[in-house]
Amino acid sequence: MTDRILPALDEWRNRALKEIYSIVYIDGQRFKVRSDTVKDKTVYLGIDVEGNKDILGLWIAETETAKYWLTVLTEIKNRGVKEILIITSDDLPGIEDAIKGVYPESMYQGCVIHLLRNSLKYVSHKDRKAFSNDMKSIYKAPTEESALKYFDELEAKWGNEYPLAVRVWDRSWGRISNMYRFTDEIRKLIYTTNAIESVHSQFRKVTRGKSQ
């Protein structure tokens, strides 16, 4: 059965892609592969200018570095993608340098949901609801100027008690702030990689309950 599937898989992996994608999401899942290591299976989901979703490819990575992302993005470009307007991902090591190298005109947008989760790791359970509400004011702000005002308020209120949680926002501001250049409708599309979660859920259905 595997022998029959492999030719179709190779054809899909090397198929030509569209020249322009409005948004490309980069996100991954961890699977225990039978090689004594944990590898990341990363899924790329593109949205073309007509609004259709398309999985650009699946890549398995043992380490995520700028060199790795450069290889992946170069492969996408060689398959026909000339332009990507917006690329959304978590804070992946080396991803911004790779984007600048292959698609220098693309706008990079960091995933706010991942930022929220990373920040809440440093907040005690009793304060998480209040802290979350204050963070919501930041990413829901209509302009970057007002968002910075809300961030200053967050820092003044929580900075002494949870400095590491606040520092996550301070460190990540440069990679999430592009979203304030767009309307709320577009912002909802680009500030999170949730669009790819439906793909992840399909993988989880067939891998749940398996140790390897």
CA distance 125 to 129: 8
Ranges assigned E (strand) in 49-165: 53-61, 83-89, 107-110
Please give the average per-residue pLDDT across 31-45, as a whole number: 67
Whether 200 contacts 29, CB under 8 Å:
yes
Nearest-angstrom CA–CA distance, 156 and 136: 16
pLDDT of residue 172: 93
Average pLDDT over residues 170-199: 88
Higher pLDDT, 30 or 145: 145
Above 80 in pLDDT, residue 30? no
**What CATH class is the domain 2-111+193-207?**
alpha beta
Mean pLDDT across the chain, nearest whole number?
A: 88
DSSP-assigned beta bridge partners for residue 55? 45
Domain boundaries defined on the chain: 2-111+193-207, 113-175
